[in-house]
Amino acid sequence: MKTLFKAAVILSLSFGSTSTCLALDSQVMASETLSLNDIKNFRALSPIFASAGMPESTAFALLKQGNYQHVINLIPGDFSEEQQQLSTLGMSFEQIEVDWHEPKLSDFQTFVKLMNKHQQDKVLVHCRLNYRASAFAYLYQTTQLGMDEAIAKRQLLSVWQPEGTWLAYIEMIQQHYQAK
């Protein structure tokens, strides 16, 4: 066993940094046993659009294998590690820091701009539990794509039942886009 370990270390030193090789190896091995449905509250909303809770780092390789090209993170904070991992896989990363207690119209407007920029590409939008993300997905599909309200609402309610701040936010966004 020690000989096998030494050989692996020598090979990884020969072909790249140990940590990079081990990280990529663990992502590949994990992706062989996991599926996108193993991501918390993953929902494929269309052939090119999905929402989910926060993916584990091992799931990024799964997203790449599923031909996702862009990830939009709606959680405030430092996600430079996620950005680095996605960049290594050739995927883009964008972040909109949506305050759970005070989401803004400008947050959704930024989201719409990003989605329009990636119109024909596969996009995953995520947050911690897919609450923010599913609300944004619902709003995008109904206000921008003209999706049937009942279908979009079923997708949203399969994740959670918005109330309080988020119910008011959804209504405010709907009213804003109906007024246009």
Residue 112 lies in a domain: yes
Tally of domains within the chain: 1
Residue 81 lies in a domain: yes
Q: How many residues does the chain have?
A: 180
Q: Report the alpha-carbon distance of residue 180 to residue 177 in Å, rounded.
A: 5
Q: Is the pLDDT of residue 170 over 70?
A: yes
CATH code where residue 140 lies: 3.90.190.10
Residue 31 lies in a domain: no
Residue 65 lies in a domain: yes
Residue 12 lies in a domain: no
Q: Report the alpha-carbon distance of residue 92 to residue 154 in Å, rounded.
A: 29
* Average pLDDT value for residue range 96-115: 98
Question: pLDDT band at residue 49, thresholds of 50, 70 and 90?
Answer: very high
Residue 157 lies in a domain: yes
pLDDT digits (tens, 9 = 90+) for 55-68: 999 999 999 999 99
Amino acid at 34: L
Residue 15 lies in a domain: no
CA distance readout (Å), 129 to 42, 51, 115, 125, 147? 9, 10, 20, 11, 23
pLDDT digits (tens, 9 = 90+) for 130-145: 999 999 999 999 999 9
Q: Report the alpha-carbon distance of residue 82 to residue 72 in Å, rounded.
A: 11
Q: Domain residues for 96?
A: 44-178
* Average pLDDT value for residue range 92-97: 98
Residue 25 lies in a domain: no
Q: Is 1 exposed, middle or buried (0-12, 13-18, 19+ CB in 10 A)?
A: exposed
